[in-house]
Amino acid sequence: MDRDLFEGNEQLKEPGVWGQAPSFHRDAIAELLRLVARDPRFGEMSRQVLEDHRFQFSPGQDALSLYSLHPKPWEFLSEHKIKSMEKLLPSELHNPFREHARDRTRYYVSAASQASMFLLQLPQHLRISIRSIALHDTHASVSHPECHARALIRFAIENPKLKIVHRADLWGAVLTSLQSVRYEEYRSGLRRGLGLMRTMKAVDVTRTVGLWMMEALALKSAGMPPESFTLIFEGEAHLMQPIFDIVIEDAAWQEALQNWPGRHVIPSPPDHSGTGYMRYPCYFFEAFPDLMRDVLAGTGGLGKWAIDMGGKYVASTAQWYYDTAV
């Protein structure tokens, strides 16, 4: 075994190029690391890589133990479990060139996480008597909030009559979630002069909203019973409409790409081998155009928008060109 194990890193760390829910991607990576970590040599390689990045292990500390850490994003960690995890982590050496930003962020726990914790505390005979759960997220919360509804799958299976409606504020909870992630990246990096709120490009809007829609679609594959869960984006109509228009336009572009006869002509770059046309900027995720068509028709139970959707969905007829000299 040698450093060839780390080849393919570019493919593994970018879930977007596969068009699937990021939570499934993270689960797959965690399982892959768990399997590879059975070989002690992988632990030595991990130690060397981390030490090259200014992390320090205490004597006798096992680097392979890091791969046993995989808390669920929606999980409430007890103080005992947090301390147990801290014992497994290497310490980071001081970096004089890194200036941490002052943390002015208010952190929130998602409605799904709180509902899950509450349901766990109830006896089963009370849980199965519940018929509906209304989740309201008005602020961006921590740790991939778009996938936290997975915490409720076990309760929906236990109680087939349960209906879960998740209402997420489009500006306060959904779009701000991307800015929160960027802020965390900034705080731990070397960049300066960038605050929490930054300019959002149209593609950022669709990719952020798309994360929530992807995760809602993925609930069925994860075990959520049909008709048990509905996601609704909320907000003031005049503020939501421009966002909705951007998402609809991008869905049309993706459908145009998928219908383009030349989509398979250009080979994938080496770092995205096998992704084909999915690497194009106008590709967002699998079944995106079909989902938005269902939303417009009012037949999509997973992703709904609490605004008037009176327009028609028309796939873009833009011409695509391929320069063979490139």
Return mean pLDDT, the chain.
78
b/e code 85-122 from CB counts within 10 Å (16+ = b): eeeeebeeeeeeeeeebeeeeeebbbbbbbbbeebeee
Q: Give, as one character, the DSSP assignment of residue 175.
A: I
b/e code 192-210 from CB counts within 10 Å (16+ = b): eeeebeeebeeebbbbbbb
Q: What is the pLDDT of residue 30?
A: 86
Model pTM?
0.80
Candidates 47, 55, 66; CA nearest to 90 is: 55
Between residues 133 and 13, which one has the greater pLDDT? 133
Indicate if the pLDDT at residue 179 is higher than 50: yes
Indicate if the pLDDT at residue 97 is higher than 60: no
Region 114-124: mean pLDDT is 96
| Integer Cα distance of 219 and 153 in angstroms | 8
pLDDT digits (tens, 9 = 90+) for 167-176: 999 988 999 8
Indicate if the pLDDT at residue 201 is higher than 90: no
Confidence band, pLDDT 50/70/90 cuts, at residue 309: very low
Q: What is the pLDDT of residue 223?
A: 95
Locate all alpha helices (DSSP H) within the chain, ordered by sequence: 9-12, 22-36, 40-52, 79-88, 111-120, 124-127, 153-158, 176-187, 202-222, 237-259, 288-297
Q: What is the pLDDT of residue 16?
A: 52
| Integer Cα distance of 108 and 169 in angstroms | 14
Separation in Å, CA 46 to CA 56, 88, 188: 12, 14, 21
pLDDT digits (tens, 9 = 90+) for 210-228: 889 989 989 999 999 988 9
Indicate if the pLDDT at residue 54 is higher than 90: no
Region 60-79: mean pLDDT is 84
Separation in Å, CA 324 to CA 87, 223, 262, 266, 278: 56, 46, 12, 9, 20
Largest CA distance in the chain: 69
